[in-house]
Amino acid sequence: MSAAHPDLCDLTFKRQVVIQCCDALEREGFTRFRKEKVDWPLGEEFHCWVGLNSSLSPEFVHISPFVGLHVKPIEKLWTSYKVGKYTTKYDRAVATYARHFGEISPSESEFKFTRATDIESESRRLARLYATVGFEFAKAIADYQSLLPLLKARIGMLGAYPERVACCLYLMGRKSESRKFVKEFVSAHHDYFAGFANPFLKRLDEEGLT
């Protein structure tokens, strides 16, 4: 059996790239909460979220960078009420809302790592992008008023965006509006949404919001 070609990329190399990117982000001030996960707490509720989506080909590792927010109260609230076949657990590594850097900074070159790439230099470039453009983007939407319309724009995708809209309204104190949204959405998407809607509406009933 012939040995692997030394210039080809493999899973070990891919993991090395991601870890070195996280190392560089940590040096920029991001918090390492798992070996391959970092974020930047903006306070008790909002975190600047980092998504290093990586793919592997024989020639290179491609990092597709996303940035956004992880909103702890929203994520804890909707995951605590979701039951049934679409249930999930709270996870700090999940984005509440995120966008690809190609939308935010389209002039930035792609992040492709070959065996010949200076990984330290490229990971430093990626980390600086997050610490500047990414951080400012996250900070600009790190309040419920700014976040709500962004979440609403994605409710048709499902993927927990309707749940997040309901919880965002609830946390803003707009509980009657939250109830109205949940009742209307579950009538149109019962199979998907009932596992959240029923326990959530029960909570509102218990709070006297009929």
pLDDT at 2 over 70: no
> In whole angstroms, how far apart are CA 199 and each of 65, 140, 160, 183, 202?
35, 32, 15, 12, 5
Residues 125, 109, single domain; the answer is yes
Residue 109 corresponds to which tokens in the numbers above?
């070159």
Using 50, 70 and 90 to split pLDDT, how confident is the model at 3?
Answer: very low
Give the separation between CA 95 and CA 67, rounded to whole angstroms: 9
Among the ranges given (6-10, 59-63, 147-151, 192-196), the one the predictor scored with the smallest mean pLDDT: 6-10
Give the separation between CA 5 and CA 11, rounded to whole angstroms: 14
pLDDT at 207 over 90: no
Residues 149, 187, single domain; the answer is yes
Nearest to 127 by CA among 23, 25, 20: 25
**In this structure, are residues 119 and 111 in contact, taking their beta carbons and an 8 Å threshold?**
no
Does residue 84 fall inside a structural domain?
no
- Grouping H, G, I as helix, E, B as strand and the rest as coil, residue 32 is strand
Does residue 79 fall inside a structural domain?
no
Query: What pTM, to 2 d.p., does this model score?
Result: 0.92
Does residue 78 fall inside a structural domain?
no
What pLDDT, on the 0 to 100 scale, is given for residue 6? Answer: 66
More confident residue, 208 or 93: 93
- Tell me the pLDDT tens digit for each residue of 4-33: 566 798 999 999 999 999 999 999 999 999
CA of residue 18 relative to chain centroid, distance: 17
Residues 116, 155, single domain; the answer is no
Residues 183, 199, single domain; the answer is yes
**In this structure, are residues 46 and 63 in contact, taking their beta carbons and an 8 Å threshold?**
no
What pLDDT, on the 0 to 100 scale, is given for residue 27? Answer: 97
Residues 102, 187, single domain; the answer is no
Residues 149, 125, single domain; the answer is no
What pLDDT, on the 0 to 100 scale, is given for residue 208? Answer: 77
Cβ neighbours for 99, distance < 8 A, ≥ 6 positions apart: 66, 67, 68, 137
Does residue 56 fall inside a structural domain?
yes
Domain extent at residue 193: 144-206
Residue 40 corresponds to which tokens in the numbers above?
């930047």
Using 50, 70 and 90 to split pLDDT, how confident is the model at 209?
Answer: low
Residues 132, 31, single domain; the answer is yes
Does residue 81 fall inside a structural domain?
no
Residue 85 corresponds to which tokens in the numbers above?
């076949």
**Count of structural domains within the chain:** 2
Residues 19, 123, single domain; the answer is yes
Residues 57, 149, single domain; the answer is no
Residue 20 corresponds to which tokens in the numbers above?
């070195």
